Structure 1
Amino acid sequence: MRKAALHNLGCKVNSYETEAMQQLLERAGYEIVPFTEKADVYIINTCSVTNIADRKSRQMLHRAKNMNPEAVVVAAGCYVQAAGEELKKDEAVDLVIGNNKKTELVPILEDYFADREEELEETIIDIRRTREYESLSIDKIADHTRAFIKVQDGCNQFCSYCIIPYTRGQVRSRRPEEVAEEIKRLIGSGFQEVVLTGIHLSSYGKDFAEEERLTLLDLIVKIHDIEGLKRIRLGSLEPRIVTEEFAAALSSLDKICPHFHLSLQSGCDSTLKRMNRCYTAEEYFNCCKILRKAFPNPAITTDVIVGFPGETEEEFLVTREYLEKVRFYEMHVFKYSRRNGTRAAQMTDQIPESVKSVRSNELLKLEKEMSLAYRKSCTGSRAQVLMEEAYEWDGTTYMIGHTREYVKAVVPYEEGLKGKIVEGILGEMLNDEIMFLNLNGQK
């Protein structure tokens, strides 16, 4: 029996695909071992979102070969799409498998083991030309409380800083019946919450033929009535999807978690224009107001890039003031990272790293203040918490989980609570990031 080890780099979609590849290997009889152990095959699902991600991908490939020089090292995913020819020349890499070829992992390995000298079939396609959704699927996940479900791939937006449309290709959507079947299997394995995710989730269904055109809302409605499913959480959304009708429809579905990640990147219109983000700061703010009208105290989270080429101090201050006005629950703050092959990498007025660091630190401090303020605003409200694991704090053991708004909360430790939903009133803060849930009932 051959041993295989997998390592994932990058986003939730990559994580899903790594899990799917592992299950393909398990079904083929491979023994899965930790990546730190000696294996016959190492598979690194690479990321290429930034130059730093490229470097990390290369480092992990070389680390694998160093752990066992006789092993087959497989580079898979986005970095392969971006630098496939370069990787083919890398002595640490034995096989390259691009996006939309991961389903063929096992037969590709079998061909390789059968005859190392023979030229293998092409394992990298021109991802920008395909309209086929790669049918990877899973039936179990290591985390037995929340399952990420990939429903969409590709992106047509071409933001000026982003390489993803070139490494993931055009928008491609998964058939809703396949999504529903996978969710049913996962519920049978004990999951109660699913997170719908994709490269550009808001574009779900736009690639279907006109007579069978679907939207993300159509998909949500279809899976909402699946028996045993308790929660539906949405991955990152583009703000333009949030209309009065969209928010009203979601608020009528009791399994929808009122936790919305709306990608922003900047609160300054001139910066948004250079980024090729197709909305204004005011339009984004209106989307937040729509959600707050449809849901009581929804958790709105976002991404912000600081130090984008040409960002002046005045533009940064406009963004900072804007963030204070919107009042997010959480913000993921990124320092702009130059990515070869994008328009932004060619822009003049690249910002020094020292300036990016100052701006990033300032927003991270603001994020901490806003996040704590949101948690405190939940005090006294009724909440349902999906229990996930034991948590140690100051010598005491608790069970910790997340509310529907994705606020962390704890209850006294009790055997058998993992995977159950408990209900109570959110009380005092255990610390700046976690609240107490005072139990008064259990589901």
Structure 2
Amino acid sequence: MKKVAFHTLGCKVNQYETEAMEELFEKSGYQIVDFRDNADIYVINTCTVTNVADKKSRQMLSKAKHNNEEAIIVAVGCYAQIAKDKLIKDNNIDLVIGSNNKNKIVDLVEEYIHEGNKINVVEDIGKTTEYEDILITKVNDKTRAYIKIQDGCNQFCSYCIIPYTRGRVRSREMSSVIKEVNTLASKGYHEIVLTGIHIASYGKDLTNTSLIELLIRLNKIDGILRIRLGSLEPSLITEEFISQLSKLNKICPHFHLSLQSGCNATLKRMNRKYTTEVFNNKVEIIRKAYTKPSITTDIIVGFPGETDEEFNATLDFVRKIRFSGIHVFKYSMRQGTPAATRDDQIDPRIKTERSHILINVQSRIREEFLNSFINKEIDVLFEEESIIDGKKCYYGFTDNYIKVKVFSDNNIRNLQLATKIIKIQNDNLVGSI
């Protein structure tokens, strides 16, 4: 039995696709082993979102060869898509598979085993119009399952390489999504997270299909207790959409709305398709429909041309919106994007300083949000078991995505239980059942 090891870089979509590829190998009789082990085949699912991601992808490809010089090395995914010419010339890499053809990976590996010739199946992703169906029937050691529902992006933000590596929007057929969720529900998974490159665009390339129609169908599946949405573009949020969404009892009141900057001038340079005024209106629509929704976001500091005044506008906007959580990123130049060609790049020391300032402002807002749940009873779906000072401890999440810890002698993993919140600890909540 040949052994296959995987290493995944990047986003939740990559993680989903790795799990799907693992299943394909398992069904064909291969054994999945840890990447640190000696394997016959190493598959590196690469990322190219930043120059640093490119470097990590190259490092992991090199490490795989170092693990076993005789192994077959497979570069797959976004970096393989964008850097195919460089990888094809690398004598240590045997197969180069781009953003498509992951569902053929076993056949391609076996073709290489039989014929011994380097394989390159990187297509012109910009011309791809059909969604590549690749699915999972299980998730490794978790109670929450990520479901990929679309690929590609048509936005072309000035800092982002993804439209060039993932291509244009391609939606998965609704019947395929429903079939996968039914399968996972039958195996005991209670929460699903819909993910993709730009899920707000789901259905726009299909006939009579939309994200809300998919959610209405998924909400009816027995066994599924929670449906969580991945990162959303503000354009999706309308009075009509939220009105329909709020009637679906399994939808989690957790909205990750990508902001990137709280300054209109910066947003314009980023080629984002909204203003802060529009974004604020979207948040108000959500807060009118839900009680204590969790609204989280991403913000890039140090984008080319960002002045002190522009950064301060972002701080003021963060204070106004009062996000429950922010992922703060220092702008990282990505060759091949318009932003990388600008001559007004920001000094790295200023980026670091702004990052620390924003994180500190957000920490105080986050603490206020968490404090509002003290002495309240909330439903928590428990996912992980741990041992602390000899006692069994369980971690889970509320529907609005706050991590909660409880001590329990009983096995409560994969159960959703009413939990009394006692205190805050390490940016999470502690409760009792």
Describe how 1:92-241 pairs up with structure 2 within 5 A. Answer: 92-117=92-117, 120=119, 122-208=120-206, 212-241=207-236
The structural deviation recorded for 1:247 is 1.2
Task: Please provide the CA RMSD for this pair.
Answer: 1.2
Is residue 382–residue 423 contact of structure 1 (8 Å, CA) maintained in 2? yes
The structural deviation recorded for 1:91 is 2.3
The structural deviation recorded for 1:438 is 3.5
Is residue 420–residue 432 contact of structure 2 (8 Å, CA) maintained in 1? yes
Specify the SS of the correspondent of 1:266: coil
Give the length in aligned residue pairs.
433
Runs of 4+ in structure 1 off by over 6 angstroms are none
Among residues 289, 295, 314, which one is paired with 1:294 in the alignment? Answer: 289
Is residue 10–residue 46 contact of structure 2 (8 Å, CA) maintained in 1? yes
The structural deviation recorded for 1:216 is 0.9
The one-letter code of the counterpart of 1:278 is: K
CA distance in structure 2 between the partners assigned to 1:305 and 1:31 by the alignment: 41
CA distance in structure 2 between the partners assigned to 1:115 and 1:253 by the alignment: 53
Describe how 1:366-385 pairs up with structure 2 within 5 A. Answer: 366-385=361-380
State the partner residue of 1:89. Answer: 89
Is residue 73–residue 93 contact of structure 2 (8 Å, CA) maintained in 1? yes
Q: Are positions 1:432 and 2:430 aligned together?
A: no
TM-score normalised to structure 1 length: 0.96
State the partner residue of 1:255. Answer: 250
CA distance in structure 2 between the partners assigned to 1:215 and 1:273 by the alignment: 28
Q: Are positions 1:31 and 2:26 aligned together?
A: no
CA distance in structure 1 between the partners assigned to 2:376 and 2:151 by the alignment: 37
Deviations 1:366-411 (A, max 9, x none): 2222222111112233311011112455665421100001111122
Specify the SS of the correspondent of 2:176: helix
CA distance in structure 1 between the partners assigned to 2:10 and 2:200 by the alignment: 20
Describe how 1:3-22 pairs up with structure 2 within 5 A. Answer: 3-22=3-22
CA distance in structure 2 between the partners assigned to 1:96 and 1:398 by the alignment: 44
The structural deviation recorded for 1:250 is 1.4
CA distance in structure 1 between the partners assigned to 2:33 and 2:187 by the alignment: 22
Is residue 21–residue 102 contact of structure 1 (8 Å, CA) maintained in 2? yes
The one-letter code of the counterpart of 1:364 is: I
Is residue 61–residue 75 contact of structure 2 (8 Å, CA) maintained in 1? yes
TM-score normalised to structure 2 length: 0.98
CA distance in structure 1 between the partners assigned to 2:392 and 2:362 by the alignment: 28
Is residue 407–residue 432 contact of structure 2 (8 Å, CA) maintained in 1? no
CA distance in structure 2 between the partners assigned to 1:249 and 1:318 by the alignment: 33
The structural deviation recorded for 1:49 is 0.3
CA distance in structure 1 between the partners assigned to 2:368 and 2:376 by the alignment: 14
CA distance in structure 1 between the partners assigned to 2:51 and 2:336 by the alignment: 10
Deviations 1:155-208 (A, max 9, x none): 000000000000000000001111011001111221000000000010000111
Specify the SS of the correspondent of 1:14: helix
Is residue 390–residue 399 contact of structure 1 (8 Å, CA) maintained in 2? yes
CA distance in structure 2 between the partners assigned to 1:406 and 1:182 by the alignment: 23
Is residue 326–residue 362 contact of structure 2 (8 Å, CA) maintained in 1? yes
The one-letter code of the counterpart of 1:289 is: E
Q: Give ranges in structure 1 of 5+ residues lacking alignment.
A: none
Q: Give ranges in structure 2 of 5+ residues lacking alignment.
A: none
Specify the SS of the correspondent of 1:128: helix
Specify the SS of the correspondent of 2:125: coil
The one-letter code of the counterpart of 1:30 is: Y
The one-letter code of the counterpart of 1:48 is: T
The structural deviation recorded for 1:81 is 1.0
State the partner residue of 1:311. Answer: 306
The one-letter code of the counterpart of 1:205 is: G
Is residue 299–residue 328 contact of structure 2 (8 Å, CA) maintained in 1? yes
Is residue 390–residue 413 contact of structure 1 (8 Å, CA) maintained in 2? no
Is residue 150–residue 198 contact of structure 2 (8 Å, CA) maintained in 1? yes
Deviations 1:290-313 (A, max 9, x none): 111100010000000000000001
The one-letter code of the counterpart of 2:32 is: I
Specify the SS of the correspondent of 1:402: strand
Is residue 301–residue 329 contact of structure 1 (8 Å, CA) maintained in 2? yes
Among residues 275, 278, 291, which one is paired with 1:280 in the alignment? Answer: 275
CA distance in structure 2 between the partners assigned to 1:340 and 1:18 by the alignment: 26
The structural deviation recorded for 1:364 is 1.4
The one-letter code of the counterpart of 1:179 is: V
Describe how 1:72-87 pairs up with structure 2 within 5 A. Answer: 72-87=72-87
The one-letter code of the counterpart of 1:360 is: S
Deviations 1:253-275 (A, max 9, x none): 11011011000000000000000
CA distance in structure 1 between the partners assigned to 2:291 and 2:69 by the alignment: 57
Is residue 8–residue 44 contact of structure 1 (8 Å, CA) maintained in 2? yes
Deviations 1:208-237 (A, max 9, x none): 1xxx23211111111110111110000000
The one-letter code of the counterpart of 1:153 is: D
The one-letter code of the counterpart of 1:234 is: L
CA distance in structure 1 between the partners assigned to 2:208 and 2:388 by the alignment: 50
Specify the SS of the correspondent of 2:96: strand
CA distance in structure 2 between the partners assigned to 1:37 and 1:438 by the alignment: 40
CA distance in structure 2 between the partners assigned to 1:405 and 1:280 by the alignment: 26
Is residue 399–residue 414 contact of structure 1 (8 Å, CA) maintained in 2? no
Deviations 1:44-86 (A, max 9, x none): 0000000000000000000000110100010000001111011
The structural deviation recorded for 1:10 is 0.2
Is residue 153–residue 199 contact of structure 1 (8 Å, CA) maintained in 2? yes
Q: Are positions 1:320 and 2:315 aligned together?
A: yes
Give % identity. 50
Is residue 372–residue 432 contact of structure 1 (8 Å, CA) maintained in 2? no
Describe how 1:36-75 pairs up with structure 2 within 5 A. Answer: 36-75=36-75
